[in-house]
Structure 1
Amino acid sequence: MSLPTTLNYIKLKTAPSHESELKDGDVFVKHLYFSNDPTQRVYIQKDSVPSRCYMDPVLEGEPMRAFGISEIILSKSDKYAPGDLVYGTFSWSDYQVINEAFVWMKIDDKTFDIPTQLSNLGHTGLTAYFGLTHVLKMKEGQTIVISAAAGATGSVAVQIAKHMLKSAKVIGLAGTEDKCRWVESLGADICINYHDADYKEQLDKAIGPDYIDLYFDNVGGEMLSHMFTRVKKFGRIAACGSIIGYNDDDKNKLTNWTNLIFNYLTVEGFIVTNYAEHFPEAFGFLIEGLSTGKIKNEGSYYPLTKVPEILDLIFGSKKPNGKLLTRIA
């Protein structure tokens, strides 16, 4: 499969907003910011089986789905009123009529700006938090490798692991030397450029003879296969993403599987929405990190007309550090 990133595949069009058609439970929203995520590539895969997806696929001709922050303009919902800022699952557009079921929450605390609310206090920060604390069950003094460490989730995971969970050693993997230096500035003890021909040798040296306790995987494929050989007995691997294979299934093939058996490894996939009942604890943790400077936010902003370019950036080494957001207003 290939990535449909050009305007030959992504059509921008003008259409009426239908705000006069609100039904009970509906809200009419003005979108402010959208999150751009690798998982959006999965939404549009033609051979997706809905029952095996955590969200329904986006069909050809439908607007792309995205997490976002929006303002309520009109409401026939008992939960939300005009003027409310809300976080939810929306579609690429300026305005939208949507049922309240697709609104996750109202944003009451305005301490942090909207980009921070959508990134480090949104599903990006939540994913890093739950991956480290609930999936990997990280303890103080443990060691960890984090792939895609210059990305949105990876960069937050680096900061949480080092500054808040007190990891003894955080090793990052990123796609350029500049990205690696940035990851180290966030707190990683070392970051290795996975485009280096000898990156595996560099990684093995950084890990050392005692192996690694934990691996936070955002990539899959060959990198994950190698990490099967580097995690110590009874170690844990969080399968957060598989970006290497979203555009090429062949790159998702895994080897070294016997290492899981012989070393009693635990590999656990997860989706952040499964932890909704624990969101309050996560928000408290993330707010503390942001308030104390232990977690920093960095992102880039693009207009809605640039979404094809954003998709290109997400899957390449030219992607800016941190979070990519679409700014509507």
Structure 2
Amino acid sequence: MSLPTEATQVIFERLPEGDGEIITDTSKPDSTFSVKTVKLNENLKNGELLIKTLLLSNDPTQRTWLRKQGNNARSYIPPVYEGNVMESFGLGEVLKSTSEKYSKGDIVSGRIDWADFAIIPEAKILNKIDTKSGLPLSYYLSVLGMTSLTAFFGLTEAGQLGKYLKEKPEKGKGPIVCVSAASGAVGSTVVQISKHLLGASKVIGLAGSEEKCKWVERLGADLCVNYKDSDYQDKINNFLGDSYVDVYYDNVGGQILSFLLTKMKEFGRVAACGAISGYNDPKESYVTTWFDIVAQCITVEGFLVFKYKEKFPEAIKILSDAIKEKKIDVDDSIHIEKLKGDSPEQKLSEIPKIWNLLFNGNKPNGKLLIEVA
């Protein structure tokens, strides 16, 4: 097979006015994204890889990557500026390499362009996938990838529940864990790790529909409430009774975080993973019950999964064993969308629309992936 000489790319064209909603229809003049075909440089610089994109991960945090040129505010990860190719975490096949770390034929995980082919520096690669395991590649962007690792370290490190991996609590005496966005990729894994690996006595989830809540309860949650219902707080109050939450795994911020802070046990912990409620409108992420943190001596700890990179092998071993023992659902926790269209341009234009399912309430349960090739 000859090497590709051009690539079709999705370009981050313009930031929505007022940090508003993403416009995903690339045919519109005010679209957030555009699709372009460009020539690929045949001469790779030292340490560069020519890759074929296989799978792309869809994550709410990508919304925080989008910036106007000149915005140099602090960030945990390099942003994507207007006019550049949009990116996500993903998997790619190495077609050509000038890197000493990666060779032709390797399947690699890293920060991958929204494109069918791309030339990227080796610094954007996280690791090489061990294809000898025989596991589906989708696992490495979900149950054995950043998704589950984020859930795992949020609970065991930020939530300080790691002691229960070895010393299981007595039945009914384990921690009470609550998680928002519980039907999402990270949230649904938090539910399963809490209940099946850490021996949580009660697991409470919040999701966006009755159907999603039923699915979360099938995964192991003792209660899942639809946060769109006006009485969702009453349901949590009645379920807890005189009890309080030991660890709240927060993916949304805003109103839900404000409420959960009032339900935390003294010296309880909040694992702050994300604040999706404010990604399109920052005002929606405001917290109104901050004094509860002071009054109940609550620890709110933000965390980034990359900070625990040296612990990845140990965590992946624990998660792999949990999958084999059926403690973590796999088949029902991964949803893969295949790109449709008669041309590369038509196919790639579907990527923004699929990604935006994370924000418009139509996202399927579990981890949402895009199959590019």
TM range (shorter): over 0.9
Task: Give the alignment's Cα RMSD to 1 decimal.
Answer: 1.5
Change (3 A) 1:321 1:12: same
| Deviation for aligned residue 1:318 | 1.7
> Is 1:306 paired with 2:350?
yes
Compute the TM-score of the two structures, normalised by the length of structure 2. Answer: 0.85
Aligned AA (1:301): I
| Deviation for aligned residue 1:17 | 2.6
> Is 1:85 paired with 2:85?
no
CA distance in 2, matches of 1:5, 1:310: 12
**Count of matched residue pairs:** 328
| Deviation for aligned residue 1:322 | 0.7
| Deviation for aligned residue 1:230 | 0.2
CA distance in 1, matches of 2:32, 2:308: 34
Q: Which moved more, 1:299-308 or 1:261-270?
A: 299-308
Q: Which residue of the partner structure matches residue 209 of structure 2?
A: 176
CA distance in 1, matches of 2:284, 2:236: 20
Say which of 273, 276, 290 aligns to 2:323. Answer: 290
Change (3 A) 1:105 1:51: same
Q: Which residue of the partner structure matches residue 323 of structure 1?
A: 367
CA contact (8 A) 1:163 1:294 kept: yes
Aligned AA (2:355): L
> Is 1:25 paired with 2:60?
no
Q: Which residue of the partner structure matches residue 103 of structure 1?
A: 125
Q: Which residue of the partner structure matches residue 197 of structure 2?
A: 164
Q: Within 5 Å, give how 1:157-306 maps onto structure 2.
A: 157-297=190-330, 298-302=333-337, 303=339, 304-306=348-350
Bigger Rg, structure 1 or 2: 2
Q: Which residue of the partner structure matches residue 78 of structure 2?
A: 56
CA distance in 2, matches of 1:213, 1:187: 18
Aligned AA (1:3): E
| Deviation for aligned residue 1:311 | 3.1
Q: Which moved more, 1:251-260 or 1:301-310?
A: 301-310
CA contact (8 A) 1:127 1:272 kept: yes
Q: Deviations over 1:68-87 (max 9, x none)?
A: 11111111111111111111
> Is 1:39 paired with 2:61?
yes
**Structure 1: segments with no counterpart, 5+ residues:** none
| Deviation for aligned residue 1:46 | 3.5
> Is 1:124 paired with 2:168?
no
Q: Deviations over 1:243-300 (max 9, x none)?
A: 0000011111111111111111000011111111111111111111112111123222
CA distance in 2, matches of 1:224, 1:323: 23
CA contact (8 A) 2:51 2:95 kept: yes
CA distance in 1, matches of 2:219, 2:271: 21
CA contact (8 A) 2:90 2:109 kept: yes
> Which secondary structure state, in structure 1, belongs to the residue aligned with residue 328 of structure 2?
coil
Aligned AA (1:240): C
| Deviation for aligned residue 1:218 | 0.3
Compute the TM-score of the two structures, normalised by the length of structure 1. Answer: 0.96
Q: Deviations over 1:192-230 (max 9, x none)?
A: 010111111111112221211110000000100111110
Aligned AA (1:257): W
CA distance in 2, matches of 1:10, 1:172: 34
> Which secondary structure state, in structure 2, belongs to the residue aligned with residue 165 of structure 1?
coil
| Deviation for aligned residue 1:328 | 0.8
CA distance in 1, matches of 2:324, 2:69: 44
**Which runs of structure 1 show a deviation greater than 4 angstroms over 4 or more consecutive aligned residues?**
none
Say which of 101, 107, 112 aligns to 2:135. Answer: 112
CA distance in 1, matches of 2:372, 2:260: 40
> Which secondary structure state, in structure 2, belongs to the residue aligned with residue 21 of structure 1?
coil
> Which secondary structure state, in structure 2, belongs to the residue aligned with residue 222 of structure 1?
helix
CA distance in 1, matches of 2:22, 2:142: 25
| Deviation for aligned residue 1:47 | 8.7
CA contact (8 A) 1:147 1:216 kept: yes
> Is 1:137 paired with 2:160?
yes
Aligned AA (2:315): A
> Which secondary structure state, in structure 1, belongs to the residue aligned with residue 243 of structure 2?
coil
CA contact (8 A) 1:48 1:57 kept: no
> Which secondary structure state, in structure 2, belongs to the residue aligned with residue 300 of structure 1?
strand
